[in-house]
Amino acid sequence: MTHIYLMRHGQAGPVANPGFPDSSRSLTPVGFNHIKTQAARLLDRAPDLARIYFSPYVRTKQTAALVNNVFNAEFKQVNDLVPGGNAELVLDMLSGVEEEILLVTHIPTVSDIASLLLSKNIPFHQGTCIKIERVDAFARVGTLAWSMDP
């Protein structure tokens, strides 16, 4: 059995001005605190987490880095994890991955990936993390093991 963890980034600040790109929004102090708490809880629930993949947006990099401070896992930016990214391509990338992996991404991408694997919609608040169990590393379906809100 293999496990995929999906996490939506922590609470981010608003867009500062009209010329400020959404991709550069940072976590708020509340967001930092929630993700630090989630990372500690995740260590208890996913002690074998080996990979953390995240979108190139600042808030997901920060979220992933806070989790990685606890795990010291393989740490990789994946462009398909941006908001509106291609969930099918993400699942293609995960095909054959046997290590436990955390994907840190955005709405709607996180919901799209979960829906493809679970055939149902899962609510993702900022900082929500879920665990999906697959029978093997090539399965494109899974079952929801748990959901954890900050």
Is the pLDDT reported for residue 14 higher than 90? no
- Distance in angstroms (rounded) separating the CA atoms of residues 61 and 42: 17
Count: domains in the chain: 1
Supply the pTM of this predicted model.
0.96
| 96 found inside a domain | yes
| 130 found inside a domain | yes
What percent of the chain is predicted at pLDDT more than 70?
Answer: 99
Helix (H), strand (E) at residue 147: strand 143-148
Mean pLDDT along residues 116-137: 96
Handedness of CA 138, 49, 59, 131 (dihedral sign): positive
| 78 found inside a domain | yes
pLDDT confidence bin for 16, thresholds 50/70/90: low
pLDDT confidence bin for 9, thresholds 50/70/90: very high
Range from 19-23, 62-66, 97-101 carrying the lowest mean pLDDT:
19-23
Of 81, 89, 133, 130, nearest in space to 107 by CA: 81
CATH number, position 132: 3.40.50.1240
| 16 found inside a domain | no
Beta-carbon contacts of 120 under 8 Å, excluding residues fewer than 6 positions away, are none
Q: How many residues belong to the chain? A: 150
| 17 found inside a domain | no
| 28 found inside a domain | yes
| 98 found inside a domain | yes
| 15 found inside a domain | no
Mean pLDDT along residues 59-65: 98
The domain in which residue 119 lies consists of 2-9+24-148
